[in-house]
Amino acid sequence: LETLEETQPYLYEYILVLWLHAWLEHSMINNLLQQKESQSSTVVRNAKMTQETVVMFGKNMDILLPLCLKSFVLRCSAITKRQEPIPTTILDSKHMQVLEPLVEIMARSLVLIALANSDGSRDVDWDVKLVETLSLSDAVLDFIVGLLSIIHPAQMSILIFRYFKTLRACENEEDDDSSTHNGERDDESTSTTNSRRRSDPKFLRCVCSRQLRLRAAERLSTLPRFVALNFPYKYGDVLAAAPRTSKDVASWVGQCSNYLVEEKGLSSPCPYPDGHERLPQAHWLAELLANECFSICSESCEAVVTEAIAQIKASRHDKVRKKSALRNHGSKSSLSRADLLRLQSNALHAVTIAYELLVRRHALDERFQTGEIRGRVAALFLAPVFSNTIKATPWLAKMESTHKIRSLWLLTFLHTLQEAPEALTREKLRSYCSSYKGYPRLHRFVRALRLCSSSCQGFISKDSSGEAEGLSGTWVVQETYNTICALLIVVVDECAGSLARVPRERNKLAVAVFDVLLHVLSMPLSPVAHQRALGGVSQALTKFGALMSLEVIGDRLQHWARICLSLMNAPSLSVRSVAVDVVISLLSGCFDEGGNMDEIALVFFSVLPEVVAREMALYSVSGVLASLKDVERSVWPLRRALADIEEANPQDDDRIDPQLSPFLSMLCRGCQAVIDGVLIELRLQGEKCSIIGCKIKVPASLSPRPAERKGVQSSSQDAETRPSSFAFDADEESIFEAASSFLPETGPLQRLRWLLTLKSLHEEKGQWIEAAETLMLCATTLADAMPHVRNIWRPSRFTLWHDPNRSLWLSTVGEEKGLPDRGNTQVMEFADAFLEPSSISGRVRKKPHATGMLERPSTSMLCIILCVVAQEAFDNYLKEEGMESHAYQRFEQLLKLVMSVAENRSSTAIVSRRTTRGTANMEENAALRKASAALNGHMTRLAERLLLLAETAEAGEATPAPTSSLPSPKISDGQGRQFYVCVELIGKKTARFCESTSLPTFLEWESPSICRVPRHVATRAAASASSFMLDENLNGSPSIERALNGSAEQRMCLSFAEPLLVALSHEMPLENIVFSTVRPNEEGLSLEAIGENTYVVVTIGYGNVASLLAGKEEGGVEQTKRFLFKNRSSRRENASSPLEPPPGSFLEYTVAREFPCALSRQRTLLASEFISES
């Protein structure tokens, strides 16, 4: 201030000067006394006087400081008549030389007032004294706030920095009288060791200093002109505007960020248009207050967390409690519970000020709601929030994810990064990638995003929905995860290329990024958030490369497969589309760089049953599923998404190589088959089918076992509940294709799982030969897998779907229905049953490892399973006559495989007898020998049966006839003969053969299929027409009546086609269904009204051409792919038995696999016509 000579000092100015002189005299005397070497009692007494003087000084500040402020106001008002947004009054150096020590003295006096007489006496309530001190500090803060309105911010920043620096220094200072009074209190301290311990004076000094700083931050952050005092930069395209006038030169309105100045190519990096720097620097007050709040919170929480960890370790090891690894300011005693509560209170107070008063208050200010201004305000706090969060990441990770301190800190972090200009965030990240010192900060930044993902999921739950902070839980969840995903995209975009020269750091970054994205995608978020996260995955795959991504993902690829498949079943079309795009990017990238897709296919096929079952369970707990049709519809989006992947065209998508298309088709067909298999497994449960307490009514099968039929005609009520899809479903084909998707060398248990399901399906239909063939295929799979036990891949449990401690949102599953028995635990139990059914896990340990991985089977375990399935196959073979020779041949082939494995193991055991693997090899060799002995026993029993049959035939004894045989002598003479029919549908298509969400059909329209006739069907057809029990839904059809009253062969064809006819009768009138054992000729089809009729043609066939020409009619089972059928379409009047080889035309159909096999029916591949000349 300019001194006015004609103005005399005011009276209160004299009082103020006298007060300051008195204080300075006391200070000078105390300094001289402290410099003396004598430690006499006089010095001690003078030290006490000094402390009392300081206390008196502080207690009078509420009177003297307003007088001082009034003096400044009156002096400034005499000079400046006009009020400005930012004060421009500059004090001279003499005033600053007085104000700086004054501010320091005031700060020290507040600390001494709070600590006065805190010598450990119990009658002093220190907390009450601290509250009084905080109230007294308001006078100091009022003085500082008043000066801010009249003095330039450049000089006020010096005073405010001095105030905070002094308080911070008091936190680390030693107590002046602590050493003096130690000798006087030694006896007292030793006598009160068992009494209640008081807080350490050094700890109280620390708490007092922090509380005073927080009080100052709380007061200064609520200034109405807080934003203006920080001179916020502009980050928009402001430089393209017209040149500024001289009026804007001195105003903070005209400044812009250094980033934009450099980007626009201006000559000077100075943010001001005139090129001259201003003081204080921009954001000075915001950064000061934010740094103070975050540093106090960080130091307090770090001490609390470290003390808690030390106590946990001490109690865990049952030892005497160890001293804390981190002592608060050198304290040699562990912190008491009261001390920990004080520190926790300080931390919560500090982070609340940062969140509520600094960030949220100004973000919600009505003056700053436009897009550009919101970015400028958020940029005020970007630097302190960014740096302090990265520093605090280690101890934040040790806190509970739902702790309020951690949640508020991370919400502040996310909001600042969301609203601040993206250019600033990118600049920070680029600086971290430019040197080795910045790499740890970059990884901590990504880790902080991972912590944000863990903490923000608490807003999904009902208990912590964000309403406590005045926010909507749904809105907070969507915005936070959108911000996390957007920041990950920025990190990958800025750092993936820069770290290419440092592969190790780049791999660490890729691991962290994929881990955060996996965690985000595993949660039930909004479609917008899922799209943003999937966009981040797609960008990461592009930046890091598919092979590198698979390398860093490692065994977590199965979790990514679960997530992608789940999102492909999302109700939102946009989410499904982006998920399909991500899968195509992954597959195409791996194919281009590696050329091998077997591992990815194995992972997708293995986890798909669990995903499908989980999706059904989630729909069930939501109350959506009521019928089997609803279950099929619940996975329709996933089927549609797989079809989109299969239909990907190389001409439309440059990512897809033309050679990749066949693999995509194979992968998608296998996935569709696995989905079919899950539905079939639910159907096989019958009346016990239930999904998380929801009873699913499964209609009875249209072709039940012979023991279950017992000749009783089904009621019309039962027929109404039977869906037509069951009869035409390609259930066998789908399960067999699912099993064929796995190789015995890498996924034998997955292959075994589906083969056992196929076996159960055959047994449900009464097809014992197919069930036995399926079991032999299981045994062969196990034998082929034994040499490759170490290469077997095993899935693991997905922790984020199981552990409620890591995924807090799991508690919300099923809460909308309010049923405690329908939560995530029941959902995952249901899904785990499909990941590894009990039929498999019963032979292997059910409980997974600590890592969640299912146990890898040993050779001994595989041998045990092999013996079990071989025994079941033996029993099923004997349920139909004449299968002894065929069974013996199958067991002989299996025994050769097992013996080959045993011989190789024996040689290995000899070599490694002296190694650690020697004992294990010997145990495996013994298990193989036991399996060989069991197979030899089965073969011995079969050989004995064959010998008995041969001796009986030589002795001329009559072969025991079946209990119910066909009247045809050809059939009765051929013991154990297998019958095959050709089934074909012609005419009008029904709705079942159009596209639907259910299982595909095993029949192609107007394309013949070869089917083996089960023994119970042939036995039923042997009855006379009067005793043949026909389904009542088929009564009244002329074509069916003719076949019923015809020959035994016609009744066999009718008995086989009965389920198909009943199914068709539910979709169309019975009079439009025509059953025939002869295919109509083309002329007849063209003359009839084929647009209304549907023909079901079932023709009984012979063996192959060689057996026909040789006239073989003996019994036994012949393995063949080729079958002959009489071509009587042009000569229908020929009524000769189809089992006799009459002269004329024959049709030979060729199938893919030799009958009998694991399938009871196969589509024809080739058709040839033969004409007999005889």
Closest to 673 in 3D by CA, of 605, 745, 744, 752: 605
Q: What are phi and psi of 691, to 5 degrees?
A: -120, 105
DSSP secondary structure string, 422-481? Answer: HHHHHHHHHHHHSSGGGHHHHHHHHHHHHHHHHHHGGGTSSTTSSGGGT--HHHHHHHHH
Yes or no: say if 762 and 739 are a contact pair by the CB < 8 Å rule: no
What is the rounded distance in angstroms from the CA atom of residue 457 to the CA atom of residue 120? 45
Please, is 194 exposed, middle or buried when counting C-beta atoms within 10 Å of its C-beta (0-12, 13-18, 19+)? exposed
CB-neighbour burial class of residue 663 (10 A; exposed 0-12, middle 13-18, buried 19+): middle
Q: Are strands 1161-1163 and 1120-1126 parallel, antiparallel or unpaired?
A: unpaired
Please check whether residue 442 is in contact with residue 509, taking contact to mean a CB–CB distance below 8 angstroms. yes
What is the pLDDT, as a whole number, of residue 281?
85
Report the alpha-carbon angle 812-816-817, nearest 5. 120
| pLDDT averaged per 10 residues in sequence order, the chain, 1174 residues | 51 69 63 52 48 66 80 74 69 82 86 71 67 88 89 90 92 53 37 40 87 94 90 58 40 48 43 61 92 94 85 64 42 70 92 94 88 88 94 92 92 93 91 88 95 88 46 77 94 92 93 96 92 94 92 93 96 94 93 84 95 94 87 92 92 88 93 94 87 81 44 36 65 94 93 94 91 95 92 91 89 79 89 82 54 82 93 92 90 93 73 57 87 94 88 63 39 62 89 75 89 86 74 84 86 89 88 87 59 86 56 59 76 44 72 92 88 62
Distance CA 210, CA 829 (A): 51
In degrees, rounded to 5, the angle at the alpha carbon of residue 688 between the alpha carbons of residues 685 and 693 is: 120
Measured CA to CA in angstroms, residue 310 lies from 296, 305, 400, 883, 915 at distances of 21, 9, 16, 72, 43
Exposed e or buried b for every residue in 258-274, given b needs 16+ CB within 10 A? ebbbeeeeeeeebbbbe
Q: What is residue 1006's predicted lDDT score, i.e. its pLDDT?
A: 86
pLDDT value, residue 190: 33
Give the residue among 610, 626, 632 at the shortest CA–CA distance from 693: 626
Which residue type sits at 395? W
Helix residue ranges per DSSP H, 786-816? 799-802
Compute the half-sphere exposure of residue 820: CA atoms within 13 Å on the CB side of its CA.
0
C-alpha span between 270 and 276 (Å, rounded): 7
Phi, psi of 987 (to 5 degrees): 105, -140
What phi, psi does 1145 have (nearest 5°)? -105, 140
Q: What are the residues whose beta carbons fall under 8 Å from the beta carbon of 106, sequence distance 6 or more?
A: 58, 61, 65, 140, 163
Residue 173 backbone phi and psi in degrees, to 5: -75, 150
CA distance 413 to 445: 11
> Between the CA atoms of 1156, 1159, 1160 and 1164, what dihedral angle is there, to the nearest 10 degrees?
-90
Between CA 689 and CA 681 the distance in angstroms is 9
CA distance 1163 to 11: 114
Q: How far apart are CA 392 and CA 404, in angstroms?
A: 15
Burial of 610 (0-12, 13-18, 19+ CB in 10 A): buried
Please tell me the predicted confidence (pLDDT) of residue 865.
Answer: 92
Show Cβ contacts of residue 340 under 8 Å, excluding neighbours closer than 6 positions: 304, 307, 308
Token output for 576: 């499904």
The phi-psi region of residue 692 (left if phi > 0; otherwise alpha if psi is between -120 and 50; otherwise beta) is left
Cα separation, 684 vs 504, in Å, equals 52
CA-wise closest residue to 668 among 635, 696, 641? 641
> How far, in Å, CA of 1102 to CA of 1138, rounded?
8
Note the Cα 615 to chain centre separation in Å.
14
Residues in Cβ contact with 490 at an 8 Å cutoff, skipping those fewer than 6 apart: 422, 425, 426, 429
Chain length of the chain: 1174
What confidence score (pLDDT) does residue 296 get?
94
User: Which amino acid is present at 394?
Assistant: P
* Beta-ladder partners of 1155: 1120
The partner residues of 1162 in beta bridges, in order of sequence, read: 1010
Q: In one letter, which amino acid is 676?
A: D
Q: Measured between alpha carbons, how far is 392 from 397 in angstroms, rounded to an integer? A: 9
Strand pairing report for 1120-1126 and 694-695: unpaired
Amino acid at 185: R
| Dihedral sign, Cα of residue 375, residue 381, residue 382, residue 383 | positive
Q: Give Cα 177 distance to the centre of its chain.
A: 59
1171: phi then psi, degrees, rounded to nearest 5: -120, 120
Write down the pLDDT at residue 609.
Answer: 96
- Distance (Å, whole) CA 903 – CA 909: 10
DSSP-derived 3-state class of residue 659: helix
Cβ-contact 739, 758 below 8 angstroms: yes
H or E stretch including 1074? strand 1073-1076
In this structure, how many other beta carbons lie within 10 angstroms of the beta carbon of residue 451?
A: 22
DSSP string, 167-228: HHHHHHPPPTTHHHHHHHHHHHHHHTTTSPPPPPHHHHHHHHHHHHHHHHHHHHTT-TTHHH
How far, CA to CA in Å, does 243 sit from each of 271, 276, 373, 568? 14, 16, 21, 54
CB neighbours (10 Å) of residue 502? Answer: 14
Query: Which CB contacts under 8 angstroms, 24+ apart, belong to 905-911?
Result: 905/859
Helix (H, G, I), strand (E, B), or coil: what is residue 1122? strand
Residue type, 1119: Q
